[in-house]
Amino acid sequence: MTGREEVVVREAREEDKQHAARIFAESFTGSWRYWSLRLLDVLKLLVAEVGGKVVGAAELYTTEVKE
């Protein structure tokens, strides 16, 4: 590579949740922080890795449409 490391986005594993919780706690305040941490085990969680280290996280809200 040219000095830039690749970003890998993947579904979180159980051991990634502590890293995601740290990222959310540092990134959000108030109700945003509360709900991001409260729903950590409920929503689908993606993490971003650089050099094998979790550097980002996102929770995905999904819904179902019934016809």
Question: What is the per-residue pLDDT across 23-65, written as a single tens digit (0 to 9) for each?
Answer: 999 999 999 999 999 999 999 999 999 999 999 999 998 888 8
Closest Cα partner for 27 from 1, 50, 59? Answer: 59
Question: What is the per-residue pLDDT across 2-22, written as a single tens digit (0 to 9) for each?
Answer: 568 899 999 999 999 999 999
C-alpha separations of 33 from 1, 4, 44, 66, 67 in Å: 36, 31, 17, 31, 35
On the 0-12 / 13-18 / 19+ scale of CB atoms within 10 A, 1 is: exposed
Instruction: Please report, for the chain, the start and end positions of each structural domain, with discontinuous segments joined by +.
Output: 7-60
